[in-house]
Amino acid sequence: MLPDVPTLPGYRHLYSGKVRDLYEPVDDPSRVLVVASDRISAYDWVLPTPIPGKGEVLTRLSLWWFDRLADLVPNHLVSAADVPEQVRGRAMLCRRLTMLPVECVARGYLTGSGLADYRDTGAVCGIDLPPGLVDGSRLPEPLFTPASKADLGEHDENITFDDVARLVGPADADELRRLTLAVYARAEAVARDRGVVLADTKLEFGRLAGDEHLVLGDEVLTPDSSRFWPAEDWQPGRAQPSFDKQFVRDWLTSPASGWDRHSGSPPPPLPSDVVERTQQRYLEAYRRLTGESPRH
């Protein structure tokens, strides 16, 4: 169950996901207001405890990346200033897109669901990999490893490139792969220069009405959609320290939480120290990448 979302004068609430709330301007259905909340999710649950300032970090980091990727692919941003005052700093007014039904994932390092697939099959999304790779291994080259989009509360499933071609057609599948890997290559180099490993990232693309060109939508290259690791601590063969919600996952699966993730019961509220440590990881990711501090 998601918490109540704010009522915004002049906007109609359309949908709430795990983290974002979407609104439509009542006088302009060609636009959508994307509001990043402070909600946090783990193991396909939206947790009852927010992370203060998280929505602002996600929004400001997306804006920062949109600016640095604009020559590679157009994006859906219209304005981050022309938004209601009560959500300013964590909202973007965007062009409305028809989204393609594919989660476009680029992996430069082996971890997460990719590691699980590799351990089971020696491949990721149907792409064979050399033997002997471990958690955190850098891949011989970045891979396009797509996933199907899941409904709220469900889990994305890794799919093959042929599956993508069946979903969207061969031409769009080729373009999704090209754009995803181009964005990853640019972002990986930027992050590496700032002492951050970009292990993988998830992108979403759509189209404007009547336009054939693909447009980058949703958020981009945030700790919610990407794995960022401190480069100085990268060590293949173990789980890597990360700038995201790993503190939350670790606490939820520890005896301290008293929660069984397989029980079907919702997770408990987070203790204040886990909230604070998670907040600091999001802030540190923003500071390292941008060289600035978000206001919140």
Model confidence at 295: pLDDT above 80? no
Whether residue 282 contacts residue 223, with contact meaning beta carbons closer than 8 Å, is answered with: yes
Model confidence at 296: pLDDT above 50? no
For residue range 17-71, list pLDDT tens digits in order: 899 999 999 999 999 999 999 999 998 899 999 999 999 999 999 999 999 999 9
- CATH numbers and ranges of domains, the chain: 11-95 (3.30.200.20), 98-244 (3.30.470.20)
Q: Which helix (H) or strand (E) holds 285?
A: helix 272-290
Whether residue 23 contacts residue 6, with contact meaning beta carbons closer than 8 Å, is answered with: no
pLDDT of residue 210: 87
Mean pLDDT of 138-167: 87
Mean pLDDT of 229-241: 96
pLDDT of residue 125: 94
pLDDT above 90: percentage of residues in the chain: 88
pLDDT of residue 247: 84
- β-sheet bridge partners, residue 92: 34
For residue range 179-188, list pLDDT tens digits in order: 999 999 999 9
Whether residue 257 contacts residue 267, with contact meaning beta carbons closer than 8 Å, is answered with: yes
A 10 A CB-CB count for 171 gives 10
**73-87, 109-123, 154-168, 278-292: range with lowest mean pLDDT:** 154-168
Give Rg (Cα) of the chain: 19
Mean pLDDT of 113-119: 95
pLDDT of residue 157: 87
Q: What is the pTM of this model?
A: 0.93
